[in-house]
Amino acid sequence: MKVYQTNEIKNIALLGSKGSGKTTLAESMLYECGVIKRRGTVEANNTVCDYFPVEKEYGYSVFSSIFYAEFLGKKLNVIDCPGADDFVGNAITALNVTDTGLILIDAQYGVEVGTQNIFRTCAKLNKPVIFALNQLDGEKAEYDTVIEQMRDIFGKKVVPIQYPLSVGPGFNAMIDVLLMKKYSWGPDGGVPVIEDIPAEERERAQELHRQLVEAAAENDETLMEKFFEEEHLTEDEMRLGIRKGLVDRSIFPVFCVSALKDMGVRRMMEFLGNVVP
């Protein structure tokens, strides 16, 4: 293993309600980094993080598991926390020793009670929060409705980084409004095809990009002045603004993933390595 500098190490608590897909996301992250050669599933009782017999019996995490992922020159140290309310102490302990909370939300059920409890714990400990909308390939998945629900509960600080072109079993593409690119995947997920945004999506993408730029600029006077003068920021300037916003808890970015199909995971890991504190 290479020797990492402090700014190259990210310590992350993987949080969310029971069934939101944390352990499955961990499998995809480990697979993308080459730590494992094939992804296990909770149903098959062969995941890296759920290895205790009681977890295999119950079909969900009971204990926190630690894993690391080396990705694009960064080291992501991740604690996969149980989602059941009975074991919330694990999440509290993990947040005390990590720098950022990555909260998964099942796009089929939206914000659950457990999600709100975890968010309040992050607020109490003053931890940055990133949201990931998972299971966008589910039969009952919603996007716009869940985003609106998140803003009602967590405030206007919720800012999408991506939005899907469709949800449900056909989910396989999304627009990234930070990089202003379209990402799409084949049936096996993994490495995406990156293309220009289609003409019919440009108006919506530009509006969400403007909202993201404005949210990033609010966290730095120099960036705000440039935004008012030029109405745009470079990618590096946006990363700087988002990082400051994460530290101040003035911005909660939202990513789109399908942990089961390994779609959107690489892009999210890239963000975790490049942007989070």
- CATH classification of the domain holding 63: 3.40.50.300
Q: What pLDDT is recorded for position 93?
A: 87
Confidence of residue 249 (pLDDT cuts 50, 70, 90): very high
Is 80 exceeded by the pLDDT of residue 48?
A: no
129 inside domain:
yes
Query: pLDDT tens-digit profile of 71-118?
Result: 889 999 999 887 666 667 778 888 888 999 999 999 999 999 889 999
Task: Work out the burial of residue 11: count CB atoms within 10 Å of its CB; fewer than 13 is exposed, 13-18 middle, 19 or more buried.
Answer: middle
Q: What pLDDT is recorded for position 86?
A: 65
Residue 79, domain extent: 6-274
pTM listed for this prediction: 0.90
Radius of gyration of the chain (CA): 18
Helix (H, G, I), strand (E, B) or coil at 190: coil
- 7-21, 33-47, 184-198: least confidently modelled range: 33-47
1 inside domain:
no
The mean per-residue pLDDT over the stretch 228-236 comes to 73
193 inside domain:
yes
**Considering its fold, how many domains does the chain have in total?**
1
Give the C-alpha separation, 80 to 248, whole Å.
Answer: 24
153 inside domain:
yes
